[in-house]
Amino acid sequence: MTASGSIQVPRGLAGVVVTETALGDVRGREGFYHYREYSAVELAEARTFEDVWHLMVIGRLPPAAESEAFAARVAALRRLPDTVAAALPAIVRAGSGAGAGLMAGLRTTLSLTGAAAGFRPVFDLDPEQRRTDALLACAVTPTLLAALYRLGHGLDPVEPREDLGHAANYLYMLTGQEAAPEHARAIEQYLISTIDHGFNASTFTARVIASTGADVAACLAGAVGALSGPLHGGAPSRALDSLDAIGTPERIEPWVRERVLAGDRIMGFGHPVYRTEDPRSRMLRGIAQRFGGPLVEFAVEVERQVEAILAELKPHRELHTNVEFYAGVVMEQCGLPREMFTPTFAVARVVGWAANILEQAADTKIIRPAARYVGPPPPARLP
């Protein structure tokens, strides 16, 4: 407690409980996380993306009949509003189509979609109306990203198909070709495993904005901004770039040692919460190994050596691969371009944000913490 009556909390709010949630949790010491009452990894192993979406946003796993109806309902929401589709070429020309611009493009076009679809402040909506807006925003996110990507590369956008699952349709809209079923399933499993993950920075951002009563698109655009940072969602392509830069097994040791000693971080390693193996990393390693090949063999060797070097150089901190290390490998194996790695993370996480926005919107208390003033003592005489 400070003199002004405020409460001091650790840097980065680490470990501070700021609200209650029924959406899930991360048990960092055990290496376990769950969506509502189910293990997230088991969901990724056994269910469709749409089923888990239903679990998060509607509140329970759908029985078979409802599962099909929900999948059809969200598939029918994939098309962009005409005015948004018409605006995309200009948005891409202005710099939001390729590379890092894709996340900027997503922020812009999610905002635009919300405005075009008439989203209103969650404060003014009943729970069903909020949910309708949230489902639409999640359903169009892959369409927006695929269209931005293609336009950025001089290609025409591909219309969504309603007969494909969420992941398969996403891959189809990116390439114009139906993906191999094993690739579509691997990406679907990756997407399920990244829907939600505790009070990470982007989820917290979405909830802060939702607590102001703003509309769903405003909450999501803010969350996309948080996710675009390299310390959060911006690492999977960087992790793979590191594998390329290392190149061969004998270069792992000197490359990593030199960087860690220079104070750099090795991308794809370390996690704010996990102090043991990240369960998502374990699952994705399994998927990558299902495909096999030199890339995954090299990645496994890099993981082994980097963990050993970090254990030696950072003995005070357990450091293992995080979700992004093998996510990059799996996405590469499934033919996703690297610039789509972080956007693909957003395709999944938008569902988690949506669930969090709906939960937060039910609470009318605005999130409004305080900061300790450390500048020159006021009031200073005006110059």
Ligand X SMILES: CC(C)(COP(=O)(O)OP(=O)(O)OC[C@H]1O[C@@H](n2cnc3c(N)ncnc32)[C@H](O)[C@@H]1OP(=O)(O)O)[C@@H](O)C(=O)NCCC(=O)NCCS
Shortest approach of ligand X to residue 315 CB, angstroms? 9
Active site residue 324: yes
The pair of structure tokens assigned to 7 is 């409460």
Nearer to ligand X, 142 or 328 (CB): 328
Report 107-146 residues binding ligand X (CB under 6 A).
Answer: none
Shortest approach of ligand X to residue 159 CB, angstroms? 33
Nearer to ligand X, 274 or 298 (CB): 274
Phi, psi for residue 27 in degrees, rounded to 5: -105, 95
Q: Which of 28, 62, 270, 343 binds ligand X (CB under 6 A)?
A: 270
Nearer to ligand X, 89 or 272 (CB): 272
What is the rounded distance in angstroms from the CA atom of residue 351 to the CA atom of residue 340? Answer: 18
| Number of other CB atoms surrounding residue 382 within 10 Å | 4
Shortest approach of ligand X to residue 362 CB, angstroms? 28
Nearer to ligand X, 169 or 200 (CB): 200
Q: Which of 119, 199, 255, 269 binds ligand X (CB under 6 A)?
A: 269
Q: Which of 235, 287, 299, 358 binds ligand X (CB under 6 A)?
A: 235
Shortest approach of ligand X to residue 175 CB, angstroms? 27
Amino acid present at 53 = W
Report 320-349 residues binding ligand X (CB under 6 A).
Answer: 322-324
Residue among 265, 376, 136, 273 nearest 144 (CA):
136
Active site residue 271: yes
Exposed, middle or buried by CB within 10 Å (0-12, 13-18, 19+), for 165? middle
Report 292-321 residues binding ligand X (CB under 6 A).
Answer: 310, 314, 317, 319
What is the rounded distance in angstroms from the CA atom of residue 237 to the CA atom of residue 22? Answer: 32
- Closest-by-Cβ residue to ligand X is 270
Among 50, 303, 324, 359, the one annotated catalytic: 324
Among 271, 303, 339, 359, the one annotated catalytic: 271
Q: Candidates 32-40, 259-267, 358-366, 374-382: pick the segment binding ligand X (CB under 6 A).
A: 259-267
Q: Helices 323-333 and 294-313, interaxial angle, to 10°?
A: 170
**H helix intervals, the chain:** 40-46, 49-57, 64-75, 82-91, 101-116, 127-152, 166-175, 181-193, 201-211, 216-227, 236-246, 249-261, 279-291, 294-313, 323-333, 341-361
Determine if 268 is a binding residue for ligand X (CB under 6 A).
yes
Nearer to ligand X, 48 or 202 (CB): 202
- The residue count for binding ligand X (CB under 6 A) is 18
CA distances from 197 to 172, 200, 276, 303, 317 (A): 27, 7, 16, 22, 21
Torsion angle defined by CA atoms of residues 173, 176, 180 and 186, in that order, rounded to the nearest 10 degrees: -30
Determine if 196 is a binding residue for ligand X (CB under 6 A).
no
CA distances from 349 to 2, 84, 281, 381 (A): 37, 22, 16, 49
Determine if 231 is a binding residue for ligand X (CB under 6 A).
yes
Q: Is 269 helix (H, G, I), strand (E, B) or coil?
A: strand
Shortest approach of ligand X to residue 334 CB, angstroms? 20
Nearer to ligand X, 114 or 270 (CB): 270
Enumerate binding residues for ligand X (CB under 6 A).
231, 235, 260, 265-272, 310, 314, 317, 319, 322-324
Active site positions, annotated:
271, 324
